[in-house]
Amino acid sequence: MSGKIELLNTTLAAAKAADRAALIAYLPAGFPTVDGGIEAVKAVIAGGADIVEVGLPHSDPVLDGPVIQTADDIALRGGVRIADVMRTVREAYEATGVPILVMTYWNPIDRYGVERFTAELAEAGGAGCILPDLPVQESALWREHAEKHGLATVFVVAPSSQDARLATITAAGSGFVYAASLMGVTGTRASVGAQAQNLVERTRATTDTPVCVGLGVSDAAQAAEVAGFADGVIVGSAFVKAMLDAPDEAAGLAAVRSLAGELAEGVRKR
């Protein structure tokens, strides 16, 4: 079975044709449980998310702030494994038909085996991978297998990335470019800032691949602001916080569905 990179591409193109940005939601696998995590992914899609990133929980994250770290810790203590991540992708995709990517640090893939990981992700109906800590110059093996299995390779660019570096990164990636709106770790912020718009403009000068912005977006107003200059708005910590703050799982699912609805409205009001 081939991966769903084409589904990802057509989903982003459809949002652009509708003159809006895509809403991309992030949730970690195995949080609050494996089954609960699968239901949470379905809930954000039911609320209006166009694309979902499923996080592979990691014990030593470099990009994730305290909210996502807390969720990852819960998932890891619950015994989450790569097989559970693949199950989350499979069941969410089969239930919704929406593009599902995995966001992961490189070490778990390296230990698992690149061929095995890409083959299983494609078989599960995955659309690709976001790899925040894999240097482009060390990514040839990954890209070879990802391409073979029909998976997107999404790299992260940051405000500190020089123009020549941006061109190198965007030439190697596919699906979309993940533009980190500011230097630092994930988390909701009062303002997403002008840095993000400048980064999107500089990135767009190097590629026709959609540029999606993450890190800091937490409400409809911020989603609308970012949707004014980006092809996609990525929201993670706000969804995870909604689950963490809920008194029980049912309330958490209702909260993330509701938040997805508000954010989906936001990306349409740019």
Specify the pLDDT at position 187.
44
Specify the pLDDT at position 195.
82
> Rounded distance, CA 208 to CA 200, Å?
12
Q: Which residue has the tokens 């965007």?
A: 170
> Of 6, 19, 50, 53, which residue is the catalytic one?
53
Specify the pLDDT at position 177.
98
Specify the pLDDT at position 1.
73
235 with 220: CB under 8 angstroms? no
Question: What stretches in the chain show pLDDT beneath 50?
Answer: 183-189
Specify the pLDDT at position 194.
75
Is 138 assigned a catalytic role?
no
- Residue pLDDT, tens place only, 35-93: 999 999 999 999 999 999 999 998 876 667 788 889 999 999 999 999 999 999 999 99
Element (H, E) at 22: strand 22-28
> Rounded distance, CA 217 to CA 208, Å?
24
pTM: 0.94
> Rounded distance, CA 223 to CA 11, Å?
18
Contacting residues for 108 by C-beta, under 8 A, at least 6 apart: 56, 58, 82
> Rounded distance, CA 242 to CA 208, Å?
34
- What are the strands, taking DSSP E only, across the chain? 22-28, 51-55, 100-103, 128-130, 152-154, 156-157, 177-180, 211-214, 232-235
CA-to-CA separations, 259 to 37, 92, 120, 146, 245, in angstroms, rounded: 16, 19, 31, 32, 13
Specify the pLDDT at position 54.
98
Structure tokens at 18: 């509708």
> Rounded distance, CA 106 to CA 139, Å?
10
Specify the pLDDT at position 215.
78
> Rounded distance, CA 26 to CA 34, Å?
15
Specify the pLDDT at position 124.
98
Is 53 assigned a catalytic role?
yes
> Rounded distance, CA 141 to CA 34, Å?
30
Specify the pLDDT at position 184.
45
Specify the pLDDT at position 58.
87
